[in-house]
Every structure is written in structure tokens, then in C-alpha cells.
Amino acid sequence: MRLKTVLLIFYVLQIFFTIAMKFLSYQGNDSSQLHEQILKYFTQEDVQKGIEYARRGFFASVLSDLIDFVVAGLFVFSPLSVRLEEWIEKKTGGRFYLTVLLFFFVFCAIQFLISIPFQYYFGFVLEHRFGFSKMTFPDWILYTAKGLGIGIVGGSVAVLGISFLLKKFEKIWKILIPATSLILGLLISILFPIVITPLFYEYKPIEEGSLKTKIFTLCNQANIQVENVYVINESKYSGHTNAYFTGWGENRKIFLYDTLIQNHTEEEIVSVLGHEIGHWTYDHQIKDILIGTFETFFLCMILGFLFQKFKTEKSISLRELYSPSTLPFLFLLLSLFGSLTKPVWSALSRYQETEADLEALVLTKDKKSFISTEIKMAKDNRGRLDPHPSEVFYYHSHPTTLQRIEFAERWKE
């Protein structure tokens, strides 16, 4: 069987699998036993609100995925990608890196034009319909433009960098690309709060008072040094709640959404931060970066091998590995591999979240606030309380709300 046929089979299987998972997600878990357990902590109205929000725009979501698959298929299984590169190459007079950059811009433009109606529908229309978004249309345009700009700049640097490594270091690129990804992963984790966050949000140091005192007491108890605690004006944009840590060493920062402060007691906020401290205590961020680096090395080995096999077979239009027209082919392979490794990453993430939950309980010794936080956050964010088991296994990065509550109920000091 030709490699192109094998790739086409996996491509079609991925389409059917993606759509099937969406239908299972839509269906949820109708177990009467689960429903009975949920109603110990939530009302039927809470359950229904979560279902309605999870099912929002279902058919639009399916249509969006199908269009993405069709576009990817056209670029990979037809000469379109190579023809586009050849056309750009003529316009640039054969200047390689300019050709790479323009190809990437055209590819991004096509994706953006296809996705923008769906972004508007999901990010603006539906978020307003469910009472989350407070953005005006101009706000949404600006927010989307900033995200697009960051994506283009970051993507351009990445594509040019990878093309350079592939072209100039044909024998050792499989080592250089993972090493570069490791360095970039560390840099991004440091620069994100300094460069990216201010582009989207206004934030200020938390006011002096009992909450700040409790937060720093918790950090000292966990031997975590924090530069400061900041409050983000999320309420300007939406009603969603969140909190997170960023940075390394003495430059660690804590960011709290103002919606979290508005909707939760100080004890509940401390419980949330206890969870975030847990991620630092267990070094989850650095572990994820290191595991991602090893995965990148493995993928580089596989992609290099498969590219040579496909090029030798000549069943798919391919030039050189560093050619920009090869990008869609590599993206498709990465997507297929990502589908295979997704449940592994999801399971790892759920395990880490459970470790962080345990640390929150150990640090605060406040089971009651932990449980009330889970209940409030599920209600505030319209979380689905009865997701399908297959969806949880394959996609969920966190245990379900009920699993986290029951974990806390079982915990003993």
C-alpha cells in the first residue's frame, strides 16, 4: 500500500474521530448514579446551564472543523502548496527567506479568513448571549487584532528559525530544533507576564489588606518567593474567573482576575492560590517543558524519516524539507501524531492537577473552602457537570468538578 493511501486513511479517520467525539461531548453522561451525586452539590438548573453552554454553537463547531480538514487536505493532497511556493518564489526573485515569510503570511491569511466568522460567532455572539462577554464590537476587533498580530510575529520567527535550521544544519537539525524549543519555552514563561499580558489587560498591585497578607503568608508557608500580587481587570471583558502564577525564582508573580475577588471569599481565593502553588511545588511547568522537548526530538526523528519516504515515493508534491510548501504536510503529520498523544498529555495534566489540589488542601487545611470554590467556579463559568467519559479521558486537562469535590471530601489532615 502506498504511503499516500495510508496517510489519506489516517486523515479520514481523524475527521470521523473528531466529529464522533463532538457528538459524544454533546451527549454527555446520562448516568442516573452520576446525576444523583451531582445533585448533592448543585441544582438541576446548574446542570442544565452547564449543558446549554457546552452545547453552544455545536453545528457551527462541526462545520468549522470540517472546513479546516478540507483546507488541510487541499494543501497536502494536491499540488496547491508547491504551486503557491513557486508563484511566490517568482515574485521574490528566488529570495528564500522572503519566500518563506510570504508563504507563511498567505497561509495564515487563508486560515484567518476562514476562521474569523467562527471566532466572531463563538467569541462575541455566543459569549454575549450567555452573559459572559462585556466587550463592545470595537473592543472585540482590537482584542482579536492583537491576538492575530502576536500569532503572526511569533509564527514568523518560528517558521524562519526552523527553515534556517533545516536548511543550514541538515545533519543536526533534529537536535537543534528541540534544544531551541526548550530555550524558547523557558523564555516565554518569563516574558509572558512582561510582554503579552499588558497587551490585553490592565493590571495593578493588589491593595494592602487582609487578602494580601493571607496570600503572602501562604506563599511563605510553601517557601515560594513572590515578587508581587496583581489584579487583572477581567471584568471589563467577561465574567469568567481565574488566577495564575508566572515567572521564575524571585520574579514570580501572582495574577488574580478581579472577577475572582468579587465572587469569592478570601478563604476561597487562598484555596485557589494554594492550588497554583502546588504546580510550583511539584515543578509542573519545568517538567512539562522538558517532556515537550523530548517529544519534539522524537517528532523530529519521525518527521524526517517520513518526509524522506514520501519524497522517494513521489506520491505527494514535495520539494525540500526546508521548503515552505512542506509546512502543510508537516502540520498534517503533527496533527495526526497529536491525536495519538492527546490522551497521554490529558492524563498527565489531570494527574498534575490532582497533585496541585492535594497541595492546596495540605497548605490551607480548609476542605470547606476548597469545595465551595469548586462549586462557585463551576456555576460562574457554566461548567459542564456531566461530561461524557470519553471526552474526559481524551480531552480534559482537569478532573471533573465532581471528581475534585469528592477528592477533597476523602482528604484527611
Task: Give me the mean pLDDT over the 249-265 stretch.
Answer: 86
Q: Read off the pLDDT band of 402 (50, 70, 90).
A: very high
65 is a catalytic site residue:
no
**Residue where a domain stops, chosen among 235, 265, 280:** 280
Confidence of residue 191 (pLDDT cuts 50, 70, 90): confident
**Same domain as 298, residue 188:** yes
Q: Which residue has the higher pLDDT, 250 or 133?
A: 133
Asked whether residue 189 carries a pLDDT value surpassing 90, the answer given is no
Catalytic choice (46, 89, 127, 357): 357
Using one digit for the tens of pLDDT, what is the confidence trace for 153-165?
999 999 999 999 9
Q: Which residue among 258, 280, 302 closes a domain?
A: 280
pLDDT at 179: 94
Distance CA 55, CA 4 (A): 36
List binding-site positions. Answer: 275, 279, 353
Per-residue pLDDT of 7-45, as tens digits, reads: 999 999 999 999 999 999 999 999 999 999 999 999 999
Q: Give me the chain's average pLDDT, please.
A: 92
Q: Say what the pLDDT of residue 227 is.
A: 82
Q: Which residues carry a binding-site annotation for Zn(2+)?
A: 275, 279, 353
Look at the pTM and tell me if it is higher than 0.75.
Answer: yes
Banded model confidence at residue 305, pLDDT cuts 50, 70, 90: very high
Do 357 and 338 lie in one domain? The reply is yes
CATH number where 237 lies: 3.30.2010.10
Domain shared by 392 and 377, yes or no: yes
- Indicate whether 31 and 106 sit together in one domain: yes
Segment among 117-126, 248-257, 386-395 with least mean pLDDT: 248-257
Q: How confident is the model at residue 248 (pLDDT cuts 50, 70, 90)?
A: confident
- Give the model's pLDDT for residue 16: 97
Same domain, 162 and 80: yes
Are 289 and 275 in the same domain? no
User: Considering 241, 261, 280, which residue would you say is the last residue of a domain?
Assistant: 280
Do 159 and 238 lie in one domain? The reply is no
CA distance linking residue 203 with residue 257, whole number of Å: 9
pLDDT of residue 76: 95
pLDDT at 226: 84
Residue 150 sits in the same domain as residue 181: yes
State yes or no: pLDDT of 252 exceeds 90: no
Q: Does residue 36 sit in the same domain as residue 130?
A: yes
Residue 396 is predicted with a pLDDT of 97
Contact 313, 5 (CB under 8 A): no
Please indicate, yes or no, whether residues 137 and 125 belong to a single structural domain of this protein.
yes
Q: What pLDDT digit, counting tens, does each position of 178-188 carry?
A: 999 989 888 88
Same domain, 131 and 276: no
Q: Is 227 a catalytic residue?
A: no
| Tens digit of each residue's pLDDT (9 = 90 or more) over 55-78 | 999 999 999 999 999 999 999 999
Catalytic residue among 276, 359, 374, 386: 276
> Does residue 392 share a domain with residue 297?
yes
Is a pLDDT exceeding 70 seen at residue 413?
no
Q: Which range of residues forms the domain containing residue 44?
A: 3-202+281-410
What's the pLDDT score for residue 32? 93
Amino acid identity, residue 138?
P
Look at the chain and report how many structural domains it folds into: 2
